[in-house]
């Protein structure tokens, strides 16, 4: 048996955040069942895990989520997101004053068992950014002591694990609506208001000697941000004329090449699907870091969880693309940054950040754009403005 402490939140990177382990194990072929039992859940966590859980359905025989709704800690929208997962999902609720408060994540395979127990709720902040502590217990089945621990755990939570407990409510639309009508489950806006942490701007300004130091905190991975769609942005912001000035210019690419535009021409030019963000017409910048740390530094970057690509950081941003002054629409595009500082490219001071064209490839891979340039401007309503002229 191996026991590992998983701490997070006291340092800004939080490499041992529980969320990373959940993603890693849900992607593993070593397990056939997963159970999450959590006092609270959030929309951010469920949205962030949704793609991973969907992929896990191919290998896992059973996926179970049991959440509490005490103290208005889980919103209506969160329960609706859980319902969309189409897994075994239940609410535990009792009218008595003791609240439902466990945070347990169990993975079982034919041989391997992993249990994470700690303070981490199934929320975006609980899995990644809050100051939390947990233990990861790992063992293989077949050992008497190991099997005894698992049996003890399963016996204690038997009524939850076999869904027989009378205070379990299967998550479905009618149950969600009933709890909302009873005033037990709030909508997301109400929940956020209740749990909003006071900022310096809304703390009482009575004279006091108390000084609260500023602290660099961990950020939520971009996949755990509520997924935006094109419909989240107003048509007026996309289609109306956007007035921009040179003072707002973030980057001028200089002449675009076939490779930049994803146009293959024979064996020497490969369609990479992305463009390396080089200094272009920017002067006196270090192109190895400028795009990651300055232009896109405010975005929530996250390292890949796979060991072979863990040196890559990724984030997503929305770009309103204009070609010849005509709007082509808004596209969510992936940015990737290579953090390796011992590579040949880094030592040669080459670009380490790229932008994947994604769904915009169809409007970018055009020969008539060769030689034109990209001018990138500051974001409007969370959209970066990209003009190709």
Q: What is the pLDDT of residue 225?
A: 58
Alpha-carbon distance 53 to 317, whole Å? 23
Does residue 20 share a domain with residue 76?
yes
**Residue 224 falls within a domain, yes or no?**
no
Q: What is the pLDDT of residue 114?
A: 97
- DSSP annotation of 110 reads S
Query: Number of helices (H) and strands (E), helices first, in the chain?
Result: 12, 16
Question: Last residue of some domain: 148, 171, 195?
Answer: 195
> Which is more confident, 194 or 302?
302
Q: At 302, is the pLDDT very low, low, confident or very high (cuts 50, 70, 90)? A: confident
Does residue 242 share a domain with residue 190?
no
Does residue 342 share a domain with residue 240?
yes
Which long-range CB contacts under 8 A does 227-232 form with residues at least 24 apart? Answer: 227/47, 228/318, 228/332, 228/382, 230/329, 230/330
Does residue 249 share a domain with residue 190?
no
Alpha-carbon distance 272 to 13, whole Å? 30
* pLDDT 10s digits, 99-147: 999 999 999 999 999 999 999 999 988 999 899 999 999 999 888 999 9
Residue 129, classed as helix, strand or coil, is helix
* pLDDT 10s digits, 83-93: 999 999 999 99
**Residue 272 falls within a domain, yes or no?**
yes
Q: What is the pLDDT of residue 234?
A: 45
Question: Last residue of some domain: 195, 222, 257?
Answer: 195
Average pLDDT of span 365-381: 86
Does residue 249 share a domain with residue 372?
yes
Q: What is the pLDDT of residue 200?
A: 53
Residue 279 pLDDT more than 70? yes
**Residue 200 falls within a domain, yes or no?**
no
Does residue 244 share a domain with residue 189?
no
Percent of the chain with pLDDT over 90: 61
**Residue 341 falls within a domain, yes or no?**
yes
Q: Which of 196-205, 270-279, 342-351 has the lowest mean pLDDT?
A: 196-205
Q: What is the pLDDT of residue 203?
A: 56
Does residue 239 share a domain with residue 288?
yes
Range of the domain at 164: 2-195
Alpha-carbon distance 15 to 19, whole Å? 10
What CATH code is carried by the domain that includes residue 165? 3.30.870.10
Q: What is the pLDDT of residue 235?
A: 44
Q: Which of these, 84, 49, 82, lies nearest to 67 by C-alpha position?
A: 82
**Residue 208 falls within a domain, yes or no?**
no
Residue 240 pLDDT more than 50? no
Q: At 40, is the pLDDT very low, low, confident or very high (cuts 50, 70, 90)? A: very high
Does residue 169 share a domain with residue 21?
yes
Average pLDDT of span 61-89: 96
Give me the helix-helix angle, 76-84 and 43-56, nearest 10°: 10
Count Cβ atoms within 10 A of the Cβ of residue 83 and give its class: 0-12 exposed, 13-18 middle, 19 or more buried: middle
Q: What is the pLDDT of residue 230?
A: 45
Does residue 235 share a domain with residue 184?
no
Average pLDDT of span 240-261: 78
Q: At 381, is the pLDDT very low, low, confident or very high (cuts 50, 70, 90)? A: low
**Residue 203 falls within a domain, yes or no?**
no
Average pLDDT of span 207-219: 77
Does residue 380 share a domain with residue 276?
yes
Residue 198 pLDDT more than 70? no
**Residue 24 falls within a domain, yes or no?**
yes
Q: What is the pLDDT of residue 110?
A: 94
Q: What is the pLDDT of residue 199?
A: 52
The values of phi and psi at residue 304, to 5°, are: -60, 145
Alpha-carbon distance 157 to 37, whole Å? 10
Alpha-carbon distance 329 to 369, whole Å? 17
Average pLDDT of span 247-264: 87
Going from the C-alpha of 29 to that of each of 19, 61, 155, the distances in angstroms are 18, 11, 26
**Residue 218 falls within a domain, yes or no?**
no
Q: At 222, is the pLDDT very low, low, confident or very high (cuts 50, 70, 90)? A: low
Does residue 234 share a domain with residue 153?
no
Domain count, the chain: 2
Does residue 314 share a domain with residue 178?
no
Residue 306, classed as helix, strand or coil, is coil
Q: Does this model's pTM top 0.75?
A: no
Arithmetic mean of pLDDT over the chain: 87
Q: What is the pLDDT of residue 300?
A: 80
Alpha-carbon distance 331 to 299, whole Å? 16
């Amino acid at each position: 048996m191996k026991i590992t402490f998983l701490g997070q939140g006291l340092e800004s990177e939080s490499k041992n955040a529980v969320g990373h382990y959940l993603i890693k194990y849900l992607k593993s072929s070593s397990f056939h069942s997963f159970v999450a039992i959590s006092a609270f859940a959030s929309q951010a966590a469920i949205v962030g895990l949704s793609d991973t859980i969907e992929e896990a359905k191919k290998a896992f025989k059973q996926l179970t989520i049991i959440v509490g709704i005490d103290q208005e800690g889980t919103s209506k929208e969160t329960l609706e997101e859980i319902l969309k997962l189409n897994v075994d999902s239940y609410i535990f609720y009792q009218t008595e004053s003791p609240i439902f408060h466990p945070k347990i994540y169990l993975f079982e395979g034919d041989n391997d068992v992993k249990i994470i127990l700690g303070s981490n709720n199934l929320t975006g902040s609980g899995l990644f950014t809050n100051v939390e502590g947990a233990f990861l217990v790992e063992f293989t089945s077949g050992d008497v002591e190991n099997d005894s621990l698992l049996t003890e755990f399963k016996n204690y939570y038997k009524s939850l694990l076999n869904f027989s407990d009378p205070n379990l409510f299967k998550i479905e639309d009618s149950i969600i609506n009933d709890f909302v009508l009873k005033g037990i489950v709030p909508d997301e806006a109400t929940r956020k208001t209740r749990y909003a942490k006071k900022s310096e701007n809304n703390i009482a300004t009575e004279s006091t000697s108390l000084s609260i130091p500023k602290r660099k905190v961990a950020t939520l991975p971009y996949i755990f941000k509520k997924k935006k769609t094109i419909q989240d942005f107003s048509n007026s912001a996309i289609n109306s004329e956007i007035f921009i000035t040179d003072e707002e210019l973030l980057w001028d690419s200089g002449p675009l090449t076939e490779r930049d535009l994803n146009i293959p021409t024979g064996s020497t030019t490969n369609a990479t699907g992305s463009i390396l963000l080089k200094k272009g017409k920017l002067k006196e910048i270090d192109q190895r870091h400028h795009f990651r740390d300055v232009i896109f530094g405010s975005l929530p970057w996250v390292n890949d969880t796979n060991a072979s690509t863990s040196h890559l950081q990724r984030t997503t941003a929305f770009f309103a693309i204009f070609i010849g002054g005509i709007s082509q629409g808004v596209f969510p595009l992936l940015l990737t940054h290579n953090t390796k500082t011992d590579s040949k490219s880094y030592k040669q001071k080459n670009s380490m950040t790229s932008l994947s064209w994604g769904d915009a490839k169809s409007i970018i891979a055009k020969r008539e754009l060769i030689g034109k340039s990209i001018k990138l401007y500051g974001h409007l309503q969370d959209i970066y403005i990209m003009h190709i002229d």
